[in-house]
Structure 1
Amino acid sequence: MPRSRSLRLLPLLTLTACISGPTTPTGQVPSTPVEIAPPAGTEWYRHAVFYEVFVRSFQDSNGDGKGDLPGLISRLDYLNDGDPSTTTDLGVDALWLMPIFDSPSYHGYDVVDYERINPDYGTLEDFERLCAEAHRRGLRVILDLVINHSSSQHPWFVESASSSTSAKRDWYQWRDNNPGWKQPWDAYSTTQTWHARNGAYYYGVFWGGMPDLNFKTPAVREEAKRIAAFWLGKGADGFRLDAARYLIETGSGTGQADTPETHAFWKEFAAHVRQVKPDAVLVGENWSPTSSIATYYGSTDKMPGGDELPLNFNFPLAEQMISGIQRGNATGIAAKLAEMARVYPAGVADAPFLTNHDHVRIATQLGGARGQLVNAASLLLTLPGSPFLYYGEEVGLANGTTNNDEAKRTPMPWDASSSGGFSTSAPWFSFAPGRESANVAAQTSTSSSLLSRYRDLLRVRQSSAALERGGLTLFTPTSGNSLTLAFLRTLADERVLVVHNLSDSSATAGPFNLAESTAEPLFTDSGATYLSEGSSAGRVILPARSTGIWRLR
């Protein structure tokens, strides 16, 4: 696609928000525009769109009511059929598989064998076939690698617990007495993290069934690197790193998270992974404030994009996006983008998302409100970085009716039949309510459906280098109230203006002082209008909960 001519920004950028209906106070635009640089480096993962899959809930192939790897293979064409000329696939670039290793639990975060596929899901040969079929379509596959802890049933721990003189005693942390540490993510926690076994106490920050591995022990470090190399050799393209900030403890409280020793190991691990497979990705789960997340990129002095974890989930931005959509006010999102611009190392790639397997689903949080779900999709797929979708978000899948984590991970509804197109027998867990309309078949051929919006936005994103891997210039104020979020996405000579209306009223954004600009619509909801006001300014009119995307020339 031809790229636009260079667009010069005038020295002074101004923004006002005008709305129909009650007058709303407007925040102040920073005198210096907020700028986020394009990601450095050319690796595929710095601009890919990822899709998180809970294999148990995606597609059953053998009628046991549990999803499996052959079932996932049978649905790959839904995710990406490998043909850019078709429009029936979702169009994502990569899959993140929640834990698939052998485990006694339904969720798999307590591993008993790091080299064996959970028998519910299939075999190692099934995994290799999945990678081959995904790669044939241009899809990458990353695995949930859970090495902060193992299952208490893992042979390593069984041996470690057997005797104080066990050869693997120091593979886990043991004390003669209970130091009384609490869980570090809750200042008011009363939950114990040291657990009694055979006359001693071992450390398990989450619970006693998941004892923490001791990464101060060189043999543990080498084993983790060997396991990573094993799966990279089987076709994996990288790893999502569970509980990455809790790896190495130096004491209670602040010594249980984000320690220098933890950062040092991830740098060591990242260097090893790059050596084995140079374009493999590591994605950190560091559920913490923005300033803490920023440290997990490591140093950019010698490694573009950072020498530690090249992608890190942006939990604070997810919270602000959902809050802004609910309140109809974009300034919280703008403030979070401004904070990222200040504290993230220049040139790193963000990993934005809406919800994942640990959250109440976005459709439930937003009460199923279509306009708000439309906003959520539009925001996620137009911000910089590598966005992550949680399976079912694209059809508005809600939470189940229980209060446990299983309700966040219910079976994927492929159609409205009693089986949901998921299995020929009763599913392992009940479907979420609302699947009569929140299913793939009902939305596939409907141009106004949520699924169609995700597909359309993904294709628009992939058609524009600026949207896919460009930087950002923010136009929205970072305080007060603004019904619209407006920003410019830029790469080389391509400039794309994006404006979202997060309110239930029509809104006008601008004027934007942009020199030499004419606007080519890339994606506009009905009624979304760009009004040119001479050679150097433009104004945007947006109906409620709508989006407009224009390439400026």
Structure 2
Amino acid sequence: MQDAFWWQRGIVYQVYPRSFQDSDGDGIGDLEGIRQRLDHLVWLGVDAVWISPIFVSPMADFGYDVADYCAIEPMFGSLEDFDRLVAEAHAKGLKVILDFVPNHTSEQHAWFRESRSSRDNPKRDWYIWRDPAPDGGPPNNWISNFGGSAWQRDEATGQYYYHAFLVQQPDLNWRNPQVRAAMYDVLRFWLDRGVDGFRVDVIWHLIKDVDFRDNPDNAGYQPSQPMIGRFQQTYSADRPEVHEVVRNMRAVLEDYDERVLIGEIYLPVERVVAYYGEGLSGAHLPFNFQLLETPWDARLLARMIERYEGLLPPGGWPNWVLGNHDRQRIAARVGEAQARVAAMLLLTLRGTPTVYYGDEIGMPDVAIPPERVQDPWGVNEPGLGLGRDPVRTPMQWAGDNFAGFSTVEPWLPLSDDWREKNVERLKEDRHSILSLYRNLISLRRAHRALSVGDYAAVARDGNVLAYERRFEGEHLLVILNLGHEKQLEDLSMFGDATILLSTHLDREGASGSSVVLRPSEGLLLRVDS
């Protein structure tokens, strides 16, 4: 790993642009706002900013319904604003990763307007059209990820089109070579503007069964669960042919220097690792969401990490995600005290970590009043708690009006504690979670054992998780107490050990032959053999 790429050594920071910084007083974040806050990312020490969709969109799914892949949505700014953002980010040593949404477009995209205009339009086959079933209903039993049938009847032409998500998001037909060529050109458009890589939305959905067979029943489905779980997605996603598409995307990026392809994949881990591709020809980083999904238990996490490491293909580089725009925030899931332990876990495991904006200040999930609910998933399947608005609320920068995010009421409400839990205040507190993130990132930069070193599990009892990181002559030890009682940990097997960092940020130095872990405390130690 002496010659590791930047995306192997570095840390990715995800920005949800609507909620990062409003620069023009409309209550919605924008590109200029991101540019104004780049110094926060530099101060924090991350290496790349991943920006959720900013393309022209009617915002049925807040940018994941794209109406023009090569233009910026005016509420976010302009292409000139984007170019300025990229140039300034690069000048500050930051990479820029864009969200690429290739599975579906907006129904307002010019391609779909042509496609639905008639059955013999040249772009008809750019989307997935099927005749009705014999009874006049949908062609098969496929369910939308946002609830209800995934098929929408078009009265003008008498056929159904497929939408894996909202009815306003028709799926492209990736079996059509013209679609592939057009979308690869989109990648080149942004690469030529200096983008350093892409996070590819729902990459496992791109190819569907050629015969459109019904999905099999899911025997474990309960009505209290999201409707998408009613059937196994055997034929509507994760088809074998999708790997050719991922390989072709990777090939486009290979024509440019050190660009990264990240794939969003919500599948069992043995399927996730298949997206590295044969001979590592697929995604550089198929997103690993297991920290979002595994119960917060030391033994379960230890087994999960070992299994993931064992399933990686030779040379495949691991990665870890602790939070994102679709899942509960870590502070809400495990509590404020354990959120510190989670930060140490994320930033000391082997592999590329992704930090979700606001997690560095311990932002909570924010309760959204019914009249302010925005997320279409929450609207379509009410009562199941599926709405993602609580994790997309405005970044809390300061204790003044609207948390320094805007000069007007933001598009989503702020948390109740934003006057105490904000960047400006926590920067001044050397024991804050923000200070912990910065210290962890600084140590990760200073010790190559943390960024590119080997990983080895250390057996521990109870709710303690421990592992070693080694690189050349450097030997580090991480011990994490995921419980709420103190733990006496024997270190005699390691020889002399020195505490480099506690998640409490209140001790360092020689540890002796044992150390007492306080409740919800993690320690990073240097071992001198």
TM over 0.5: yes
Return the alpha-carbon distance in structure 2 between the equivalents of residues 125 and 92 of structure 1.
25
Q: Counterparts of 1:161-172 in structure 2 under 5 Å?
A: 161-172=116-127
How far residue 529 of structure 1 moved from its aligned partner, in angstroms, is 7.7
- The correspondence for 1:482, drawn from 462, 465, 473, is 462
Deviation at 1:546, TM superposition (A): 1.3
2:329/2:391 contact within 8 Å kept: yes
Partners of 1:245 and 1:41 in 2: CA distance: 30
Question: TM-score normalized by structure 2?
Answer: 0.87
d(CA) in 1 for partners of 2:68, 2:2: 37
Q: What is the Cα-based RMSD across aligned positions, in Å?
A: 1.9
Pair 1:546-2:508 in alignment? no
The answer to whether 1:523 aligns with 2:501 is yes
Aligned residue in 1 for 2:278? 299
1:46 is aligned to 8
Deviation per residue, 1:507-538 (Å, 9 max, x gap): 12345634xx43343223546786555xxxxx
- Code of the aligned partner of 1:179: P
Which residue is equivalent to 2:259?
280
Picking from 97, 100, 103, the partner of 2:51 is 97
Residues 1:214 and 2:164 aligned together: no
**1:179 pairs with 2:139:** yes
Looking at structure 2, the residues matched to 512 and 108 of structure 1 have their Cα atoms a distance apart, in angstroms, of: 54
Shift in Å, 1:261: 0.9
| TM-score, length of structure 1 as denominator length | 0.83
Residue 240 (structure 2) aligned to one of 244, 260, 269: 260
Counterpart for residue 315 of structure 1: 289
How far the C-alpha of 1:40 sits from its partner, in A, is 9.2
- 8 Å Cα contact 1:96/1:142 also seen in 2: yes
1:378 corresponds in structure 2 to 344
In structure 2, stretches of 5+ residues that fail to align are: 133-137, 216-233, 369-384
Residue of structure 2 equivalent to 1:26: none
Alpha-carbon distance between aligned partners in 1 of 2:464 and 2:508, rounded to the nearest angstrom: 13
Partner of 1:24: none
Match of 1:136 among 91, 112, 124: 91
How far apart, CA to CA, are the structure 1 residues paired with 2:127 and 2:424?
Answer: 49
> One-letter code of the match for 1:49?
I
1:347 to partner: Cα distance: 2.6
Choose the corresponding residue for 2:206, options 237, 244, 247: 247
Tell me, yes or no, if structure 1 residue 331 matches structure 2 residue 304: no
Do structure 1's residue 148 and structure 2's residue 86 form an aligned pair? no
8 Å contact 2:17–2:52 — kept in the other structure? yes
Rounded Cα–Cα distance in structure 2 between residues aligned with 1:158 and 1:384: 46
* Separation of aligned partners in 2, 1:542 and 1:346: 36
The 8 Å contact of residues 142 and 236 in structure 2, kept in 1 or not, is answered as no
Q: Distance in 2 between matches of 1:41 and 1:216?
A: 37
Of the candidates 428, 447, 450, which is equivalent to residue 467 of structure 1? 450
TM-superposition CA deviations, 1:87-143 (whole Å, max 9, x none): xx1111100100000101162000000011010011101111111111111100100
Rounded to whole Å, the distance in 2 between the matches of 1:264 and 1:184 is: 25
Which shifted more, 235-244 or 541-550? 541-550
- Is the Cα contact below 8 Å between 1:288 and 1:315 reproduced in 2? no
Cα distance change of structure 1 residues 125 and 485 upon mapping to structure 2, 3 Å threshold:
same
Unaligned residue ranges in structure 1 (runs of 5+) = 1-38, 81-88, 301-305, 534-538
Q: Across the two proteins, how many residue pairs are aligned to each other? A: 480
- Of 350, 359, 365 in structure 2, the residue corresponding to residue 399 of structure 1 is 365
* Greater alpha carbon shift after TM alignment, 373-382 vs 212-221: 373-382
Q: Which amino acid counterpart does residue 170 of structure 1 have in structure 2?
A: D
The answer to whether structure 1 residue 342 and structure 2 residue 297 are counterparts is no
Deviation at 1:147, TM superposition (A): 0.5
Amino acid at match of 1:76: L
Residues 501 and 283 of structure 1: CA distance in aligned 2, closer, same or farther (over 3 Å): same
Is 1:389 aligned to 2:355, yes or no? yes
| Counterpart position of 2:152 | 195
Q: Partners in 2 of 1:532 and 1:432 — Cα distance?
A: 43
Are 1:476 and 1:482, in contact at CA under 8 Å, matched by a contact in 2?
A: no
Distance 2:292 2:391 in 1: 17
Q: 4+ residue stretches of structure 1 with deviation over 6 A? A: none
Distance (Å, rounded) in 1 between the aligned partners of 2:3 and 2:113: 44
Q: Secondary structure at the match of 2:199?
A: strand
2:272 aligned partner, one-letter code: I
Question: Is 1:507 equivalent to 2:470 in the alignment?
Answer: no
Letter in 2 for 1:205: A
Q: Which residue of 1 aligns with 2:219?
A: none
Greater relative contact order (CA < 8 Å, ≥ 6 in sequence): 1
* CA distance 1:339–1:183, shift in 2 (3 Å): farther
CA deviation map 1:179-236 (0-9, x unaligned): 2232387xxx973112111211111111211111111000111111100010011121
Partner of 1:85: none
Distance 1:520 1:361 in 2: 32
- Percent sequence identity over matched residues? 38
Counterpart-to-counterpart distance in 2, 1:486 and 1:407: 32
Match of 2:226 in 1: none
Residue 170 of structure 1, CA deviation: 0.7
Q: Distance in 2 between matches of 1:355 and 1:193?
A: 28
Amino acid at match of 1:42: A
Contact 1:351 1:387 in 2 (8 A): yes
The CA deviation at 1:428 is 1.9
